[in-house]
Amino acid sequence: MLIFLIAGSVALLIHECGHALAQFLFKIPVKELVWGFGPRLFKFGVFEVRLIPFKGYVHPAGPLYAKKRWHGISIALAGVVMTWIGVLVLFITQAVKVPWLKDFSVWYTLWAFLSLLELLPFGRRDGAWIKYMILNNPAKRGQVK
């Protein structure tokens, strides 16, 4: 059970790092990259760790307006893509034959499948952001400076 929770927590961190990396690549500054909820344990630069590591978010510095529609879609998809890159890395490292790594890989892969639910286009999910970027291009509306 513990390995299941650790795998989910790591999957969440990798997911959020995917969003932060995409923002960085598109030159949209990251104000906060938060792993967890509850009281803050420590902060290092923009990265913040909180007591309970089962939630996370990336907060952009200023409004998150992508200059191009595909930038915003890419940022939203980056979390799920990074989670699946993690699955690929874990299965490649299976050759190492570390006993706990096999169990971790199985549970991480389950969490990766659950991360696909983030693509649903409602609520505060990544899919809602993708839907917004498809239907409303902020660059054409003059919302991007």
Nearest CA to 54 out of 85, 96, 13, 106 is that of 13
CA triple 114-46-7, angle to 5 deg: 25
Q: Identify residue 62 by its one-letter amino acid code.
A: G
Measured between alpha carbons, how far is 8 from 1 in angstroms, rounded to an integer?
11
Question: Residue 64: its pLDDT value, please?
Answer: 60
- Crossing angle, helix 69-92 and helix 126-135, to 10 degrees? 150
Measured between alpha carbons, how far is 54 from 1 in angstroms, rounded to an integer?
15
Measured between alpha carbons, how far is 69 from 135 in angstroms, rounded to an integer?
9
Question: Residue 129: its pLDDT value, please?
Answer: 80
Q: Identify residue 107 by its one-letter amino acid code.
A: W
Question: Residue 62: its pLDDT value, please?
Answer: 66
Least confident of 28-42, 76-90, 122-136: 122-136
- Mean pLDDT throughout 25-45? 91
Question: Residue 133: its pLDDT value, please?
Answer: 80
Measured between alpha carbons, how far is 43 from 90 in angstroms, rounded to an integer?
28
pLDDT (tens digit per residue) in 80-130: 999 999 888 888 877 667 777 778 888 888 889 988 888 888 777 888 888
DSSP 67: S
Burial class (CB in 10 A: 0-12, 13-18, 19+), 119: middle
